[in-house]
Amino acid sequence: LILVTIYRIIEECFSNIKKHANAYKIHLILQEQIGSYYIYIEDDGKGFDVDKVFLNDGLQFGLSIMKERVSLLGGNININSSPNAGTRIKILIPAQNPLN
């Protein structure tokens, strides 16, 4: 179940990039580390103001889904982006989590 949820998180990231970023390149790292899963996704798209997007309820549905899925797995997500500077998302999920 954890791997399916991780797949859905990555799928949502890629969907957001396709819909909003206008990116040329996407960099994905998915690693199983001792006791955890590490996901890193970076794009060279148009970026966005993270704080502004989360303050505007109508614009952040996809990001909310990602955050909720990561939270359900007991993980942490860090979204770093700014206009004209692309987006970097780092996710760390413990291998032993409430869904196992």
**DSSP string for 7-32:** HHHHHHHHHHIIIII--S-EEEEEEE
Give the pLDDT of residue 21. 93
In this prediction the pTM is 0.88
Averaged pLDDT score across all residues of the chain: 89
In this structure, what DSSP letter does residue 96 have?
Answer: S
Q: Roughly how many angstroms between the first and final C-alpha of the chain, as a whole number?
A: 7
* Cα–Cα distance for residue pair 82/41, rounded to 1 Å: 15
pLDDT tens column, 44-77: 999 998 877 766 655 567 788 889 999 999 999 9
Per-residue confidence (pLDDT) for residue 53, from 0 to 100:
75
Grade residue 8 by pLDDT with cuts at 50, 70 and 90. very high
Contact 86, 25 (CB under 8 A): no
Specify the pLDDT at position 50: 85
- Distance of alpha carbon 53 from alpha carbon 18, whole angstroms: 17
pLDDT the model gives residue 91: 98
